Amino acid sequence: MLKFLFPPNGRLLQTCIFCCIISFLNLFFQSYSTFYTNTAAENIQKYINDSYLARGQKISENYLLWFWNSILNLPFLGFLLSNLLAPYFCESFGRRATLIYTNVASFISALLTTISVIYLIPELFLISRVFGSAVTNINFCAFTLFATVLDTD
C-alpha cells in the first residue's frame, strides 16, 4: 500500500520529507500540551504588566499581547529545535554525560525562572522558558537512548 514511499522502490527525498512532517506533527501535539495549555494566561499577563509598571514604563495592549504570545509559543521552538541537537550531544558527550549536563542546565533554568519572577524581569522569564524547554527535551531524548540501549559487556 505505501510501497511507493520507501526506498529502494520509492524516492529517498520524498520519504525524508514525509518522515519530517510526521515527526513535526508528533512534536507539535506533545509540546502544545506541555507548554500552551498548562500556562496560567491571566497571571502571566499580569506579571508582564506589573513588571513594566515597576520599571516606570507603561506598555500598550498590543505589546502585552505580543510578549505574552512569545512567552507561550517560543518554548515550542526551543523544544522543536533541540531535537536536532539531541543526537549531536548524545553522540559527542555520551548519553550519561548528556543526562547529567541537561539536568544541571534544567536546574539553572529553574533558578533563572525563579529570579525572573522575584525581580520582575519578564525578558529573563522568556529566555529561561525557551532554554528550559530545549534542555528538557534533550534530556528526554538522552534518557530514552540511555534506558533503551543497554551495554551487555
Instruction: Specify the range with the lowest mean pLDDT, choosing from 22-31, 32-41, 75-84.
Output: 32-41
- State the residue for C-alpha cell 510501497: 3
**What does the radius of gyration of the chain's CA atoms come to, in whole angstroms?**
20
With a pLDDT cut of 90, the percent of the chain lying above it is 47
- Kindly report the number of other CB atoms within 10 A of residue 52's CB atom: 17
Domain ranges of the chain: 1-38, 41-148
> Does the structure show a pLDDT above 90 at 151?
no
Please report which confidence band the pLDDT of residue 38 belongs to, taking 50, 70 and 90 as the band edges: low
Residue 19 exposed, middle or buried by CB count within 10 Å (0-12, 13-18, 19+): exposed
Average pLDDT, the chain: 85
Give the dihedral of Cα atoms 36, 41, 46, 52; nearest 10 deg. Answer: 30
pLDDT score for 119: 96
Residue 85 has which C-alpha cell?
Answer: 541537537
pLDDT tens digits, one per residue of 39-58: 677 888 899 999 999 999 99
